Amino acid sequence: MAASGEMTLQWSSDDTLLVVLSGSWMLNSKRPSEEDVRRQIQSFPSLRKIVFDSKQLVEWDSGLLTFFKRLRKFCQEQKIQLDSSGLPQGARQLLALAAAVPEKKDAHKEKKLVPFLAVVGNEAIDFFQSTGKMLEFIGTTTVAFVRLLRGQARFRSTDLFLTIEACGAQALPIVSLISFLVGLILAFIGAIQLQLFGAQIYVADLVGIAMVRLMGAIMTGIVMAGRTGGAFAAQIGTMQVNQEINALQTMGISPIEFLVLPRMLALTLMMPLLCLYANIMGILGGMVVGVGLLDIGFIQYYNKTAAAVRLWDLGIGIFSGLVFGVIVALSGCMRGMECGRRASAVGDAATSAVVTAIVGIIVSTAVITIICNILGI
């Protein structure tokens, strides 16, 4: 089968060109390109009118129509009359249909080239505005929290308990795995160095202090940012897309109280507990290396850890966990509430929630560490 479209040009009178179409004018068949036609037409300067003959045309689809449209545009520029009456009837009807609604001139979006400095400026303005929005969100959440303390806030206690289950008990496996392995890794790295001095026993100090004071909280925070912060943003974002948030508003129920408060409360309550649990798992990880590889006795390892870790370290670790809980819940809920009305916006909200939470965790760790350093604790 010769699946290709062909075209021959004949003069039918002095200024009229007859275009004979034959073969298959399909989108996926080989057709004369518009460039060739143009070149051929331009070699006839006396041309005033083009007519068509499609009796030998075997089959056609949008391939013929796009060809005709391009030709028409060219003819308009050259002030050549184009007579479509020789085209197949179906094609003529489609062309008439396409021309029925005139093009809306102001509907075209112009893509303006924005200078580099303007882009930087816009980004900076956006950044400041987003900081303002963040503060506003923290403000409204605080107001809602105060209403909660006064017993005026409205949310369902079942929601609170469901969220506590989701971000507490259900997070235990992943938190166990991560913190156990982090403890193990810390012990291995420490052991190699400390063995040089025959001071393997200090692995217990190293793992204990590092986990309890810092790593337990940070690792839990990052796991929860990815696991729960992203989920919060996606849940609330989908509700935004579904107009569920609007429905709450018109029922006179504050979405901040109804959706954000239980999530904030649940995560802020659970994070310190998860942190404590991560500390224990991390120390266990270190103990496996210490007892198994470095021949430190079990009791000895325990005693060394207990002696090394002060109550202050535990306090700082748990406090960090609390702060991270607030940060993760806040960024998840905030990005969810800001979510647009498209499906892709939900994905953006989840991504941005995780990024915001992790940045927040690292920055606040730095701040807490510096403060502790100044206070000498």
Partner 1 sequence: MGYGDFVLMRDLNFIINRGDIFIIMGGSGCGKSTLMFILIGLKSPSRGQVFYGDVDFWGSDPTTRDKIIRRAGVMYQSGALLSSMTLAENIALPLETYTKLSAVEINEVVELKLELVGLAGFDKYYPSEISGGMQKRAGIARAMALDPETLFFDEPSAGLDPVSANRLDDMILELCDSLGTTMVVVTHELASIFAIGSNSVFLDVSKRTMTATGDPKQLLAESRDPVVHKFLTRGEELR
Nearer to partner 1, 57 or 239 (CB): 239
Nearest approach, Cβ of 100 to partner 1 (angstroms)?
Answer: 11
Segment near partner 1 (CB under 8 A); pick from 15-23, 238-246, 344-352, 362-370:
238-246
Nearer to partner 1, 59 or 244 (CB): 244
Joined together, the tokens standing for residue 121 give: 């400026």
Nearest approach, Cβ of 161 to partner 1 (angstroms)?
Answer: 13
Nearest approach, Cβ of 241 to partner 1 (angstroms)?
Answer: 9
Contact between residue 232 and residue 351 where contact means Cβ atoms under 8 Å apart? no
Count, residues in the chain: 377
Nearest approach, Cβ of 164 to partner 1 (angstroms)?
Answer: 15
Nearest approach, Cβ of 118 to partner 1 (angstroms)?
Answer: 18
Burial class of residue 70 in the structure, from the number of CB atoms within 10 Å of its CB (0-12 exposed, 13-18 middle, 19+ buried): middle
Query: How many residues in the shown chain lie near partner 1 by CB under 8 A?
Result: 15
Our finding on whether 59 is near partner 1 (CB under 8 A) is no
Nearer to partner 1, 76 or 130 (CB): 130
Return the half-sphere exposure (C-beta side, CA atoms, 13 A cut-off) of residue 69: 11
Each as own residue / partner, the long-range contacts of residues 82-89 (CB below 8 Å, 24 or more positions apart, any chain) are 82/49, 82/50, 83/49, 83/50, 83/51, 83/52, 84/52, 85/51, 85/52, 86/19, 86/51, 86/52, 86/53, 86/54, 87/52, 87/54, 88/54, 88/57, 88/60, 88/64
Nearest approach, Cβ of 338 to partner 1 (angstroms)?
Answer: 16
Nearest approach, Cβ of 243 to partner 1 (angstroms)?
Answer: 4
Q: How far apart are CA 141 and CA 268, in angstroms?
A: 13
Nearer to partner 1, 247 or 363 (CB): 247
Residue with the two structure tokens 């729960």 = 228
Among candidate residues 335, 374, 340, the one with its CA nearest the CA of residue 355: 335
**What is residue 47's three-state secondary structure?**
coil
Nearer to partner 1, 73 or 341 (CB): 341
To which H or E segment does residue 132 belong?
helix 116-149
Nearer to partner 1, 62 or 122 (CB): 122
Residue from 4, 22, 40, 238 touching partner 1 (CB under 8 A): that is 238
Q: How far apart are CA 146 and CA 213, in angstroms?
A: 31
**The pairing of beta strand 16-25 with beta strand 5-11:** antiparallel
Interface mask toward partner 1 for 240-279; x: CB under 8 A: --xxx-xxxxxxxx--------------------------
Nearer to partner 1, 151 or 252 (CB): 252
Interface mask toward partner 1 for 127-166; x: CB under 8 A: ---------------------------x----x-------
Residue from 71, 239, 256, 278 touching partner 1 (CB under 8 A): that is 239
Nearest approach, Cβ of 249 to partner 1 (angstroms)?
Answer: 6
- 15-44: buried (b, 16+ CB within 10 Å) or exposed (e) per residue? ebbbbbbbbbbbeebebbeeeebeeebeee
**The pairing of beta strand 81-82 with beta strand 49-60:** parallel
Nearer to partner 1, 157 or 344 (CB): 157
Nearer to partner 1, 87 or 239 (CB): 239
Interacting residue ranges for partner 1, rule: CB under 8 A: 154, 159, 238-239, 242-244, 246-253
